[in-house]
Amino acid sequence: MDFQLSEDQRAFQDMARQFAAEHLTPNAGRWDEENHFPLEELRQAAELGMAAIYVGEEHGGSDLTRLDAAILFEELAVGCPSTAAFLTIHNMVSWMVDRFGSDAVRARFLPDLTTMRRVASYCLTEPSAGSDAASLKTRAEPEGNAEYRLNGSKAFISGGGASDVYAVMCRTGGDGPGGISCLLVENGTKGLSFGAPERKLGWHSQPTSMVNFADCRVPSENILGAEGEGFRIAMAGLDGGRINIAACSLGGARAALEAAMSYVKERQQFGRNLADFQSIQFKLADMATELDAARLMVHRAAISLDAKSPDATKHCAMAKRLATDIGFKVVNEALQIHGGYGYLRDFPLERLLRDLRVHQILEGTNEIMRVVISRKLLDG
């Protein structure tokens, strides 16, 4: 395994780092305070190829690898984990359209998704189907050969009410994962509505709401893959999504670690800089070591997914579990180092803490990651 980034990867990394420093870091606190969805900045990121990172070039994608994406998302999350996380969701849907859509669907949707003229959301979770995603009840009934009639609700949808395209996992057959399909529902479809914006602990730079379907008429051609393949598509998307959200945890935690290192060099107690106290030095050493170990796990998972390894799902679950737990721990330690100042909104630590907490829940809770890992171990 090569631990060095290629020349191209260093160039991507520098580009994302510069974009985050110029567009995300200066605004992240204000977006958090104002619950502002930074669509203009997201479209600027899209101009640099970051809205369709692992989509093919035919329709405007960057055609990069999952490892490239992990590198990019870590850098973006240093600037704003919430905004970077929304971009990972949009990328997931763009990839699903590219990977599973017909030629006509790809030609119709991808040019606007790659530029973010149209924004995409992923709709799997329901009010009564979270970790048990295969039990979802949103149903699409065929109406002749031309369209489906879609009814049901989705919960906790990032971009709900603001996105233009919704990749909806719905039941077209019987119970269980084999009865699920994936439909693209466009905003403006009659019968599509949204709940009130959720009031969240973190992730304030992206809207979240219920997405409701009441006799929505969806063209049959908007299906991704074939009927009954939706659960497989959803899980394939989540493998990559778990790497991406893990990378966002790395970025947010790195921002916290860097803030802590700057703080201890300046803050004095008992006539000495905090950096001179061995207890602080050891704390920083542990934070940096654990963060580096998590990064290696994330990069290994990305390489495994790129290589279509039979262990890819296990590696993705391992990386997501470790990186999101470590990321939150590192931010919490950085806040503790700041003492009372870390608890104030004048410093970024409390926002980073709030933003990274949800990473341990979404894309499959970390308890579910343990289920995935243990099943792979025991089945193997």
Answer yes or no: pTM beyond 0.75.
yes
Q: What is the pLDDT of residues 148-171, one digit of tens each?
A: 999 999 999 999 999 999 999 999
How sure is the predictor about 230, in pLDDT bands with cuts at 50, 70 and 90? very high
- 372: pLDDT strictly greater than 90: yes
CA 95, CA 372: separation in Å to the nearest integer?
Answer: 23
User: Out of 67-71, 130-134, 137-141, 193-197, which region has the weakest mean confidence (pLDDT)?
Assistant: 130-134
- 380: pLDDT strictly greater than 80: no
Contact 338, 260 (CB under 8 A): yes
**CA distance to 180, 211, 218, 231, 262, per residue, from 170 (Å):** 5, 13, 12, 9, 49
Q: What percent of the chain has pLDDT over 90?
A: 96
Domains of the chain (ranges, CATH numbers):
7-115 (1.10.540.10), 120-228 (2.40.110.10), 231-379 (1.20.140.10)
Contact 41, 27 (CB under 8 A): yes
Please work out, in degrees rounded to the nearest 5, the angle formed at the alpha carbon of residue 42 by the alpha carbons of 251 and 153: 90
Exactly one of 41, 75, 126, 363 is catalytic; which is it? 363
How sure is the predictor about 351, in pLDDT bands with cuts at 50, 70 and 90? very high
Q: Is 363 a catalytic residue?
A: yes
Region 269-276 average pLDDT:
95
Region 22-44 average pLDDT:
98
Rounded to the nearest integer, the mean pLDDT of the chain is 96
Region 73-97 average pLDDT:
98
How sure is the predictor about 131, in pLDDT bands with cuts at 50, 70 and 90? confident
Q: What percent of the chain has pLDDT over 70?
A: 100
What pairs with residue 192 in β-bridges?
Answer: 213
Predicted local distance difference test score (pLDDT) of residue 306:
96
Region 13-20 average pLDDT:
98
Predicted local distance difference test score (pLDDT) of residue 21:
98
Q: What is the pLDDT of residues 275-312, one digit of tens each?
A: 999 999 999 999 999 999 999 999 999 999 999 999 99
Helices assigned H by DSSP within the chain: 7-19, 28-34, 39-47, 66-79, 81-100, 103-115, 230-266, 278-306, 312-338, 349-357, 366-379
**CA distance to 248, 325, 354, per residue, from 361 (Å):** 14, 10, 12
Q: Which pair of tokens denotes residue 135? A: 């039990």
How sure is the predictor about 86, in pLDDT bands with cuts at 50, 70 and 90? very high
- 2: pLDDT strictly greater than 80: no
How sure is the predictor about 129, in pLDDT bands with cuts at 50, 70 and 90? confident
